[in-house]
Structure 1
Amino acid sequence: MSDDEAGLAPSGGSLRRRPPWARHDEPGRGGGDGLPRRPWIASVVLAFVQVVGTTAASHNGTGHVPLDHFGYLLLLAGPVALLWRRRAPVVVAAVVSAVTLVYLAAGYAYGPVFLSVVAAYFSAVAAGRRRSVFVVAACLYTAYVLVTLWLYRYLPPTGDHRASWAQVSGAAAWLLAILAVAELWRLRRESYVRERRERAEEARRRADEERLRIARELHDVLAHSISVINVQAGVALALMDERPEQARQALTTIKAASKEALGEVRQVLGTLRAPGEAPRSPAPGLDRLPELLEQAAGAGLGVEVTREGTAVPLPPGVDLAAFRIVQEALTNIIRHSGSRRASLRIVHRAREIELCVDDEGPATATAAQSPDADGGNGLLGMRERAAALGGHVVAGPRPGGGFRVLARLPFDTVAATAVPDKEIR
């Protein structure tokens, strides 16, 4: 994985325990390869450890060349090269390997000089250049074998002995262990980055779904209430002089509808301000059907209701969707149909509830070719509600004229019977 692919912004939320590379992915702290943005700090630490540790090893051991200016220069060359490990990880790995090989060939004392090799290989593998690192490591090991098994007689110190096969095998095992741990680091880091990306995508998906849910709720609440208000306002204006009592009744209906709409809008907006708190009022359901029919009657629409089957308590989500679908269907009739009569059929089945709303039409001039003058948001919202529950909505002209909305909403029988009362959303 490249640096650009790994550079993923945090997905939000707190993580209880984050891997070491997680902190380096944050803005201002590190990059996508799991390395700090201030590599000089690690280089200074490595230089200090290598110089101090190798100096101690040189003073305590024999059979090697004492450290001189060239030796100290080689000890510092590796950490200095690591300053560019983010820009050119493979080149840095090759340079550090060459410096380490020269140090060994010069006959200086063994010590923590290999820490620069470990850091360079880790950096290159984390940057997704593991194949190139394997080639560099193979070249380093091959050169090491040549030096310790053949060229040692031509190199300092004088009287040096040929390395044993155990030493050569140990160096191979040590090098393979470094590469294996670096590869494990890379895999775990890629897994972490992938999980963060998935969490970010899931958070965006939930946010989109929540926005759609709120948009549907606001549309259903406002469309119905404003339609009733619009009709009653027209009635009040027409009868203001001739029949003031009926005009007063229409204004009373407007007041009640607007109050109800404001309450439901506050409930929806309250979920945005305090998403962790439950709404104080229950979600509407089919138990509020008489109230909905009364509002429709106030707008001049008579609705005949028929029921089939044995009614069972519905899960809150299904109950809310059923109420909103009926509400939107009646709103569309009030706004876009010339008919003042409608029929509502509710069919209760074992695992499904069916809702059918019919009107005889014809469509008014403002309805055009769609029953939704707002561009079809009402029908789209009904279909989205039903689809979220695994159901569907069919809407269109019916045989003999008029318009029909047919919705089927499935539900779990066990869950439905376990919820005798309406729950708070």
Structure 2
Amino acid sequence: MDRNRTGWRDGLFDALVALALVAIGLVGTGPAGANEGIATGRATYPLVVAAALALAVRRRWPLATLAVGTAAVTAYLVLGYPYGPILFSFFVAVYTVAAYRPLRTAAVACGVALAVLLVHVFVGVRSPGLLGLMPAAAWVVVPFAVGTTVRLIRESAARDRVDEARRLADAERLRVAREVHDVVGHGLAAIHMQAEIALHLLGKKPEQAEAALTAISRTSKEALDELRVTLTVVRRDEAADERAPAPGLAQLPQLRDRLAGAGVPVTVEVSGERRQLPVAVDLAAYRVVQEALTNVLRHAGPATATVRLRYAPGEVAVEVTDTGRGPVAGPGQAGGYGLAGMRERVTALGGSFTAGAVPGGGFRVYATLPVEEAE
């Protein structure tokens, strides 16, 4: 629909240009001849009108427009009529070919047009001789240069738009990958730990194994629910249930309970006055805590964890420490979206991020995120 509307507007504009040049030609050709001391003839105005009207379809058929214009202008000059407004029609025809056709095609077409136009220099009724070569060539070279420049600028802008669209698509894919990693990675780590516990207790203490299996069921359901919410946000589905809570620091109690069910006791400490955070900041802070606790579950071994949340003027800070052995990369393991993903999330919002081993044992993740204060 947009393309049809644009084509209709372009066609209307070209028709108006053609009519304007017809009017200019009809009004201006006579005075131009009088100024040069050259009389018009019977073919003068038909040729002027033909060259101008051809421009009505200049963008649809640029080569045909140039052919008609070249033939009309050459015949006009060969017959000895005065230099006048008809040359403006020729100028526009050459410009159109240079601006809307590939460079090689435009160069060949305009070269042929120049060769045909120069015929009047040698065989015209009022041949200007060799002195007429430069002015005649200028009526081709100048519009060709202008049209080529416009085409190159337009193509460069189109490439920039494609590159920007590709960059945005890549950024969106990375964002989706990070969200899915945070949701699925945490859930699977908890399920894996609970499954190990269930297998260990199945033959010895079936009732405790049943509790671990129940925790697996609950954790998998929570992970699926959170994944559904995440994908809904990613798709920006307006028809989705808007009551579904977006992940944020308000879900820390559920996250703490999930880790406790997997065998990692978590303490949450909050300082400062709680307040509503921007969605992006709230999500990033929650994901940092979630990923840090997931790493505790995966790598720290038997450990406890402490989450400290500090609300301060202009920022919110989160800190996760544990008493375990810290992350240990196995052979061939890549960093994935773990610490690198947390750092990218935080720095993208203008915050700071640090992570490292704690003297005496354990691991610490610390992030600050700027928060604009309401005026």
Q: TM-score, normalised by structure 1?
A: 0.61
Q: Secondary structure at the match of 2:6?
A: coil
- Alignment identity in percent? 39
Alignment partners' CA distance in 2, 1:22 and 1:63:
37
Are positions 1:265 and 2:235 aligned together? Answer: no
Which residue number corresponds to residue 312 of structure 1? Answer: 275
Which residue number corresponds to residue 236 of structure 1? Answer: 198
Which residue number corresponds to residue 341 of structure 1? Answer: 304
Which residue number corresponds to residue 258 of structure 2? Answer: 295
1:19-38 mapped onto 2 (5 Å cutoff): none
The structure where helix makes up a greater share of residues is 2
In structure 2, relative to structure 1, the CA distance for the partners of 1:279 and 1:397 (3 Å cut) is farther
- Could you tell me whether the CA contact under 8 Å between 2:62 and 2:93 is conserved in 1? no
AA of the residue aligned to 2:287? R
Alignment partners' CA distance in 2, 1:355 and 1:272:
25
Alignment partners' CA distance in 2, 1:125 and 1:386:
50
AA of the residue aligned to 1:211? R
Structure 1 residue 335: Cα displacement: 0.5
AA of the residue aligned to 2:172? E
1:409 equivalent among 363, 369, 375? 369
Listed one character per residue, the Cα deviations across residues 263-322 of structure 1 (whole Å, up to 9, x for unaligned) are 122223335666455553121111111111111111111123333333222111111111
Q: Secondary structure at the match of 2:179?
A: helix
1:204-219 mapped onto 2 (5 Å cutoff): 204-219=166-181
Alignment partners' CA distance in 2, 1:20 and 1:179:
29
2:90 equivalent among 117, 120, 127? 117
Structure 1 residue 104: Cα displacement: 2.2
Which residue number corresponds to residue 282 of structure 1? Answer: 245
Alignment partners' CA distance in 1, 2:241 and 2:179:
14
Are positions 1:326 and 2:289 aligned together? Answer: yes
Structure 1 residue 198: Cα displacement: 3.7
- Could you tell me whether the CA contact under 8 Å between 1:333 and 1:339 is conserved in 2? no
Which residue number corresponds to residue 18 of structure 1? Answer: 6
Structure 1 residue 210: Cα displacement: 1.8
Alignment partners' CA distance in 2, 1:336 and 1:239:
21
Alignment partners' CA distance in 1, 2:295 and 2:93:
69
In structure 2, relative to structure 1, the CA distance for the partners of 1:279 and 1:318 (3 Å cut) is farther
Structure 1 residue 206: Cα displacement: 2.4
Q: Secondary structure at the match of 2:274?
A: coil
Q: TM-score, normalised by structure 2?
A: 0.68
- Could you tell me whether the CA contact under 8 Å between 2:272 and 2:310 is conserved in 1? yes
Segment of structure 1 superposing worse, 255-264 or 235-244 = 235-244
1:352 equivalent among 315, 320, 328? 315
AA of the residue aligned to 1:105? V
Structure 1 residue 231: Cα displacement: 0.9
Stretches of structure 2 lacking an aligned partner (at least 5 in a row): 12-21, 27-37
In structure 2, relative to structure 1, the CA distance for the partners of 1:276 and 1:16 (3 Å cut) is farther
Structure 1 residue 323: Cα displacement: 0.8
Alignment partners' CA distance in 1, 2:230 and 2:365:
26
Stretches of structure 1 lacking an aligned partner (at least 5 in a row): 1-12, 24-48, 54-61, 155-167, 416-425
AA of the residue aligned to 2:169? A
Alignment partners' CA distance in 1, 2:351 and 2:181:
20
Structure 1 residue 392: Cα displacement: 2.7
Q: Calculate the aligned-residue CA RMSD, in Å.
A: 5.1
In structure 2, relative to structure 1, the CA distance for the partners of 1:98 and 1:299 (3 Å cut) is same
Structure 1 residue 108: Cα displacement: 7.2
Segment of structure 1 superposing worse, 340-349 or 287-296 = 340-349
Which residue number corresponds to residue 377 of structure 1? Answer: 337
1:57-72 mapped onto 2 (5 Å cutoff): none
- Could you tell me whether the CA contact under 8 Å between 2:259 and 2:265 is conserved in 1? yes
Are positions 1:391 and 2:351 aligned together? Answer: yes
AA of the residue aligned to 1:270? T
Structure 1 residue 180: Cα displacement: 7.2
Alignment partners' CA distance in 2, 1:368 and 1:285:
31
